[in-house]
Amino acid sequence: MATYHTSEFRKGLKIQLDGEPYLMIECNFVKPGKGNALYKCKLRNLIRNTVIDRTWRGGETVEAADVEEVRAQYLYRQSDKFVFMDLKNYEEYELSKDQMDDAWKFLKEGMECTLLLFNGQPISVTPPNHVVLEVTYAEPGVRGDTATNVTKTVELETGAQITCPAFVEKGDKIKIDTRTGRYIERVK
Partner 1 sequence: MASISPDDPWRPTASWEALCHRAQVLRQLREFFYREGFVEVETPLLCREVVVEAHLDPLSLTLFAHPSRADQGPRYFLQCSPELGMKRLLAAGAKAIFQITRAFRAGEQGPWHNVEFTMLEWYRAGDTQEQALGRLSRLVAQVLHTPGAQVVSYREVFRHHVGVNPWHASAGELRQAVRRLGLGEPAGHWPEDDPEPWRQWLFAQAVQPRLGWERPVIVFGFPPSEAALAQLCGNPPVAQRFELFVQGVELANGYHELTDPEELRRRLEQENHKRRRLGKPPLPLPQKFLALHQAGLPDSWGVALGVDRLVALSCQAQRLEEVIAFPTPRA
In degrees and rounded to multiples of 5, residue 65 shows phi and psi of -90, 135
- Closest contact distance (angstroms) between CB of 5 and partner 1 is 10
- Closest contact distance (angstroms) between CB of 50 and partner 1 is 13
- Closest contact distance (angstroms) between CB of 67 and partner 1 is 18
Site track for partner 1 across 29-58, x = CB under 8 A: xxxxxxxxxx-xx----------xxxxxxx
How far apart CA 1 and CA 61 sit, in angstroms, is: 12
Site track for partner 1 across 57-96, x = CB under 8 A: xxxxxx----------------------------------
Helices (H) and strands (E) in the chain, counts: 1, 16
Task: Identify the CA nearest to 70 among candidates 120, 132, 12.
Answer: 120
Residue 98 engages partner 1 in binding (rule: CB under 8 A): no
Our CB check for partner 1 shows the closer of 42 and 186 to be 42
Site track for partner 1 across 3-22, x = CB under 8 A: ----x---------x-----
DSSP states of 148-185: TT-EEEEEETTS-EEEEETT--TT-EEEEETTTTEEEE
Task: Identify the CA nearest to 89 among candidates 111, 72, 114, 76.
Answer: 72
Please answer whether residues 75 and 83 qualify as being in contact, where contact means their C-beta atoms are separated by less than 8 angstroms: yes
Residues forming the site for partner 1 (CB under 8 A): 7, 17, 28-38, 40-41, 52-62
